[in-house]
Structure 1
């Protein structure tokens, strides 16, 4: 429909504004009876009068030759009359002007719509477009709600004359406001509505939906503009259907057949949410089609779905048995509606309406007849069997009328006030110009001059909402979320459960009361799910199914070492270095700091063993020093014996450096001290073995080895063997010294505090040198094992070096295969075991003789045994 606000000059009276509506829906052609000051009523989508000739393109069973009345839309008429009444009674808005309106009807016909528009650029009572003669109306602004099939005709025509156009119906998606400066939209555009629906889908986690449009709606626009946005936010579509006109002789049967196939697929789809985009007549058509194909094709009762509809679609009560059936399939429907609010005084205005007092309101009688099932004598809709209307019936208890102000009505109310305030601003500017000597006749104002004032209009309406336009000429307003509740008697109510704000998608953009939501009985009042696949729980990742939309996937466990903390994660993520995945792989746990401490049972046990062996070595050393003059102590170089015992004592003590939190000093001393002390120990053993061999060889007559027997050779062997190892350690410390480090990767559940060797080649070089000394000592002792027992401890040295080499040969693979504190424990164990082997195998027999067989520790016994 189109409301045309026009300027008219009445002689002797103040200027008058005449308004006319061109309605894209077929309504009874009615006019107001004009007076000096014209006040009338708006015709909204109130009546459908049709014949098979006029509406042959309508699906069968929806419209018939009998009029179809929608009483709820009478509110649109009343809101306009109410707004005009308020403006005319308010001396602060248009003090010297009177606002009125008039009605035209297009019968949902493009030709009649265009003719009605042309009528308003013609002289009054003559159809001569663009020609001025006789009484001329000065068109100032157009208020429109035309069907999308006819809309472009109206827009293009009035845009030629730059007449401001206020749209309170569904804006056509092809309209670009930046290219139509005369266009003002009282309703958020299609993009904003779709974004509001997207907020709902994201809020309820509905990612698997269907899309269905009415006839005349551009599916291509949605695919190009909105489909990428929906997909970007994880929404995919189970189906996308658009109703289209069908040509041909047998179009009716083909239309029903095609719709029945589409409807069967819609109801059989796994998507529980259907987005239905269209306008009021599309909802009416859908209801009629569903009812008709159920009767014709004996289809089962429709499956419960969550219907989400755009702003201009709503359920209505019709005076038609076909349309008013099975409204329960839309129980729980959600609509993103134009924001509305209650208008102060409107309910009282409605209740005061009576046929006798509402002069000029020709629609009130038809509404009255439908409401009270009576007829006025002149009514063309009356039934001969109905009683006559008295006009004294009361409306206060009438429940079929939409009491709360709908989005359509609210938009009309705001549009009328926007025009009034813009006219007020323009008239005030002209008044100031007149005071300055510029005499201008208000009739000479051109429509394009109102654009500036409309774009900058800003006011608070009676409901307290601020009304203003943005730079594109669109009303700055949000959307209401409406939940529709139906009842078995085919009645329904709308419940406002939330609202959306026209801003970027965010959690704050949508406010909704989920506890007030009502769902279809199929869902047992539990929030429905609409997913192609079940959610992948934390610990799993999504893997898309080949050839299906991205919302359809299988769930696979996360790979080892990764987690997924939320549902439906496409990829599993590794934990930070200082965390590790839990068993379920759905969260990260801080790693435990791992090192061999004295509080640890393993560390405590090794420390006790090291101390015990240190004490044992000290006891042996004390015993040998106490019996230093006995033959068994003097044998094989007493100084080497002391040096060997002291070095073994340090070996046991230095093993304690490996226990406790690694520090800079301990890391520098650990390996280097161990390497040098062990080099001293093995060098002493090598020197002792060589001393035995040289002593035996020196006893042969004429032997030249006597000059090599003495302390200098032994000292040289010990010093040279130790200095080489010392040189290796000095180079090691000077180039790549060991340092404290944190190993995040060796152990999954812990961060290992360890001493980094700095240079692995230097570390293995020092071990290799120790291995060389050990093997050399073993070989020398092995060849000297059969020398006379009185002077020979080579047999014990051979066995001790066999133990020593066995320990360190097994150390290398064990060390490389362990991690964390156990690696350190292996090295400590190897140090203790090899040192204990040397101490036990070499000194245990001597200690036995000193303590328990002192009679053998005499020179005479040694000489006697020798001979």
Structure 2
């Protein structure tokens, strides 16, 4: 590409041309300027820094000295080209800023604080000399500055420009930044003239959290830059991690990148490392969030055709051309090196520069120019509307841009809408995998997308099959403090450790957890129970003490058998009603007792089968009333024995009581009292049908709720009171000398009766479900059978097996008659 005067084919540059080439590359001016009606300023980074540690002198005195080497990065020259393209597009537009030409001036943003501020002072002072507080330049002052690839640079330049408000310099210079969003720069009290084109990366925080949750990484390390932006990011991401149950194993602050510039799309903004002690931190296998590649209509065609001859004032463009093509175009600073072929183009630069791909910063620079141009257009329209006839002044001062920049919604030539406030959000990111090859080359491989709409609406797609993890991982890395709790278990935090460190405990009975890492188990509804694995709730089976059950069948058979046996005894007594043993101790009371025992046995059947309102009411009332009749009959029989013995002694009082059958009235009085108690029970809180879903874990039991428990125990207590009274009277009369004296049998029967019901109370309350009903039924049958057996079995024995003893002659002998 260089003619024969400078280099023979296959030979290096000749000495004269080589010297001129090196002289061209060393050519340096503080700025590039092109005049116009209005001037836009810019600061663009063309250098990156490499910091090397060098041992110098004695280790005890000065062990390490840092040496900074600056390297020119031509990739960043795309910023200038985007700046040019936007200005030319505006100057050619008949609708935006008509009859006004935009000019420009831009400076290199050096990777050092001193050089950065030095160029800013060049901008303010003019010329090639630094004269603070004086403006010696002959060209126009810019109305706005496009600057700030790095937040630290924006802060430095913004602070400096805010200081100069004297007459020598137009006050309140506008700075529109194109670098990463920095929350510090959004503080209008500190930086009132700084406007950021980049968005606030709240969406990026959500993306990182979604990525961690996707891979199940809940135990991670965070590396952030040791500056305000890194601190802000750390606070945001930690707050979000706490919400999602992600823990930070440790946090490492990296040296700040102040003064070191990289293209925005090459910065590894998010590097995630699993916390494994034997894994070094390296870049291979890292994951990177980056905004989707921007598109500027017509910009690629512009890059293919642009060359230094179109911008003779730009010595950087000439240096780029000479550096890569070893030639120069006519009229450029390096024009003597050699002529370039007509097809030379930026499109043919080395692939690692990737200058044809629009970077984020170039995209924002392009739009920043359009934003300023639209604001200038609105200001000019306002001036035209307000100016008086003959006034042709169209001078625009930088401070006049503020109201429009703060309030206006601006649209550029490609319908890109933006509002310059802190609430803007990017909606889509590409997720790349950084891969290193054996030849030490690197490649960014797209492995997914993250689409952000709002806080509650975002999507993450990861193609795990194409992700290259660090070499020590054979599969997707795991990063947890504790292994996940499978369904059926719940997490129990460990005291003094982060929430990600926990133990897994099985859910208790009737509780479930149907998801991994459940914070607590969920109780099944009352109508359901948990399966053995404690992962699902199953419907409970409806049950009750049915006739078909073995227990129900047994109880039914027992009740019927005792009923038949009682009926047989009653028949025997009716048949032998004229015998002495039947007539002894009041024949009528024996019949009443036998008849009352019949419903006592039958009432147990009311407790079996599907409960309904009628059976629930009748089972308790029948139980209470028939047992009251039975027990009060025994009390009357006992009193009859006592009166019969007393009647043998002189005196008519006892004989009158015995003849008048006062003892029979006891049954009526005692039964009446019980009926009153039952009436009160029915009137206040009667029994009703209820379901018991707690007694048995897998069954819902249909039971009769007693309604008023107090009334139930009043019925039972009154019955116990009668039984205790009967037992006492019978016990006192057990040894009275009388023929066929049944006081001993009455005493024993009441002892059995009281023992059954005293045992009933604790056993009843210690059982659950239908077994409570069974206990009550067994108590009814046992106490009734006790009365039947203890009182009537001895008499039936004499009647049926020893009829010789059932005669009046034997009766007279026992009483002592001759």
Distance 1:494 1:355, change over 3 A: farther
Hey, what's the Cα distance between the residues in 2 that align with 1:580 and 1:523? Answer: 47
Instruction: Give the secondary-structure state (helix, strand or coil) at the position aligned to 1:92.
Output: coil
Superposed displacement of residue 360, structure 1: 6.2
Offset at residue 642 of structure 1 (A)? 3.0
Q: Distance in 2 between matches of 1:699 and 1:301?
A: 108
| Aligned match for 1:344, one of 297, 316, 325 | 297
Choose which of 264, 275, 286 in structure 2 pairs with 1:333.
Answer: 286
Runs (5+) with no aligned partner, structure 1: 1-25, 246-275, 291-299, 306-328, 380-385
1:54-203 correspondence to structure 2 within 5 Å: 64=69, 68=71, 70=73, 72-123=75-126, 128=131, 131=134, 135-159=138-162, 161-179=171-189, 180-189=191-200, 193-194=204-205, 196-202=207-213
Q: Could you say if the C-alpha distance between residues 177 and 277 of structure 1 is closer, same or farther in structure 2, counting changes exceeding 3 Å? A: same
Question: Distance in 1 between the 2:684 and 2:283 partners?
Answer: 82
* Aligned residue number for residue 303 of structure 1: 279
For residue 405 of structure 2, the aligned residue among 454, 459, 465 is 454
SS in 1 for 2:84: helix
Give the Cα–Cα distance (whole angstroms) in 2 for the partners of residues 81 and 516 of structure 1.
43
Q: For 2:649 and 2:310, locate their aligned partners in 1 and report how far apart those are by CA, in whole Å.
A: 153
SS at match of 1:242: strand
Structure 1 residue matching 2:208: 3-state secondary structure? helix
Aligned partners of 1:559, 1:522: CA distance in 2, in Å?
44
Q: Aligned pair in 2 of structure 1 residues 863, 130: CA closer, same or farther (>3 Å)?
A: closer
CA distance in 2, matches of 1:331, 1:535: 28
Q: Distance in 1 between matches of 2:149 and 2:27?
A: 13
Tell me the distance in 2 between the aligned counterparts of 1:588 and 1:565. 10
* Separation in 2, partners of 1:282, 1:304: 26
> Of 375, 381, 385, which residue of structure 2 is paired with 1:428?
381
Determine the C-alpha separation between the residues in 2 that align with 1:808 and 1:340.
88
Q: 1:679 maps to what in 2?
A: 628
Cα distance in 2 for residues equivalent to 1:283 and 1:364: 21
Alpha carbons of 1:367 and 1:636: their partners in 2 closer, same or farther (altered >3 Å)? farther
CA drift at 1:144:
1.2
Tell me what 2:224 maps to.
213
Question: How much does 1:450 deviate?
Answer: 1.8
Q: How many residues align?
A: 759
Aligned pairs for 1:406-445 within 5 A: 406-433=359-386, 437=389, 439-442=391-394, 444-445=395-396
Mean Cα deviation higher: 643-652 or 126-135: 126-135
SS at match of 2:434: strand
Question: Cα 1:860–1:551, aligned 2, differ >3 Å: closer, same or farther?
Answer: closer
TM-score w.r.t. length of structure 2:
0.76
Using the TM superposition, give the Cα deviation of residue 643 of structure 1 relative to its aligned residue in structure 2, in angstroms.
1.9
C-alpha change, 1:547 and 1:770, in structure 2 (3 Å) is closer
- 2:719 maps to 770
SS of the residue aligned with 2:603?
helix
In the alignment, structure 1 residue 518 sits paired with structure 2 residue 467: yes
Shift of 1:509: 3.4
Q: Which residue number corresponds to residue 269 of structure 1?
A: none
Conserved in 2, the CA contact under 8 Å of 1:542 and 1:569?
Answer: yes
**1:41 Cα deviation after fit:** 12
Question: Structure 1's 95 and 377: CA in aligned 2 closer, same or farther, altered over 3 A?
Answer: closer
SS of alignment partner, residue 545 of structure 2: coil
* Correspondence list, 1:646-795, <5 A: 646-660=595-609, 666-692=615-641, 694-695=643-644, 698=647, 705-710=654-659, 712-730=661-679, 746-749=695-698, 754-755=703-704, 757=706, 760=709, 762-778=711-727, 781=730, 791-792=740-741
Cα distance in 1 for partners of 2:67, 2:616 equals: 91
- 1:576 Cα deviation from its structure 2 partner: 6.1
Q: 1:413 to 1:796 in 2, by over 3 A?
A: same
Counterparts of residues 241-640 of structure 1 (less than 5 Å): 241-244=252-255, 281=262, 303=279, 329-338=282-291, 340-353=293-306, 363=316, 375-376=326-327, 390=341, 392=343, 395=347, 399-402=351-354, 403-433=356-386, 437=389, 439-442=391-394, 444-459=395-410, 465-470=416-421, 472=422, 475-478=424-427, 480-488=429-437, 489=439, 490-495=441-446, 497-501=448-452, 503-504=454-455, 506=456, 508-515=457-464, 518-522=467-471, 524=473, 526-557=475-506, 566-568=515-517, 583-585=532-534, 595-598=544-547, 600-618=549-567, 620-621=569-570, 634-640=583-589
Counterpart Cα distance in 1 of 2:382 and 2:205: 40
Q: For the residues of structure 1 that align with 2:141 and 2:548, how far apart are their CA atoms?
A: 99
Which of 773, 781, 790 lines up with 1:832 in the alignment?
Answer: 781
SS in 2 for 1:410: helix
Query: Are the equivalent residues in 2 in contact too, given 1:336–1:482 (CA < 8 A)?
Result: yes
CA shift for structure 1 position 172: 4.4
Kindly indicate whether the alpha-carbon contact (under 8 Å) linking 1:141 and 1:447 is maintained by their aligned counterparts in 2. yes
Q: CA separation in 2, counterparts of 1:622 and 1:279?
A: 117
Deviation per CA, 1:488-537: give whole Å up to 9, x if none.
04121252732353743x3x134434557725244757543333333344
Alpha-carbon distance in 2 for matches of 1:83, 1:497: 32
Cα displacement (A) at 1:678: 0.7
Alpha-carbon distance in 1 for matches of 2:708, 2:259? 76
Q: Secondary structure in 2 aligned to 1:177?
A: coil
Q: CA deviation at 1:705?
A: 4.6
Cα shift at 1:656: 3.3
Q: Distance in 2 between matches of 1:639 and 1:185?
A: 111
1:712 and 1:549 map into 2 onto residues whose CA distance is 87
Partner Cα distance (1:279, 1:603) in 2: 90
Which moves more between the two structures, 636-645 or 571-580?
A: 571-580
* Structure 1 Cα separation of the partners of residues 461 and 693 of structure 2: 47
Note the C-alpha offset of 1:827: 0.6
Q: Deviations over 1:77-120 (max 9, x none)?
A: 44333333433343333332334433312422323322322333
Deviation at 1:795, TM superposition (A): 5.8
Contact 1:561 1:575 in 2 (8 A): yes
In the superposition, relative to structure 1, how do residues 157 and 819 fare at CA in structure 2: closer, same or farther (>3 Å)?
same
Q: Deviations over 1:604-656 (max 9, x none)?
A: 54345434544554555466556656666555434323322332222223323
Range 137-146 or range 345-354, more displaced:
345-354
Match of 2:7? none
Question: How far does residue 793 in structure 1 lie from its aligned partner after superposition?
Answer: 5.0
CA offsets per residue over residues 640-687 of structure 1, 9 Å max, x none? Answer: 233223322222233234345666665554444322221211222232
2 CA distance for matches of 1:27 and 1:514? 49
Alignment RMSD (CA, Å)? 5.1
Alpha-carbon displacement from aligned partner over 1:800-821 (angstroms, at most 9, x marks no partner): 4444334323323311221222
Would you say the 8 A contact 1:28–1:49 is kept in 2?
Answer: no
| In 1: Cα distance, 2:543 partner to 2:258 partner | 63
Offset at residue 186 of structure 1 (A) = 1.1
1:542 to partner: Cα distance: 4.3
Instruction: Give the deviation of 1:163 after TM superposition.
Output: 2.4
The question of whether the paired residues in 2 share the 8 Å contact of 1:369 and 1:389 is answered with no
573-582 or 669-678: bigger deviation = 573-582
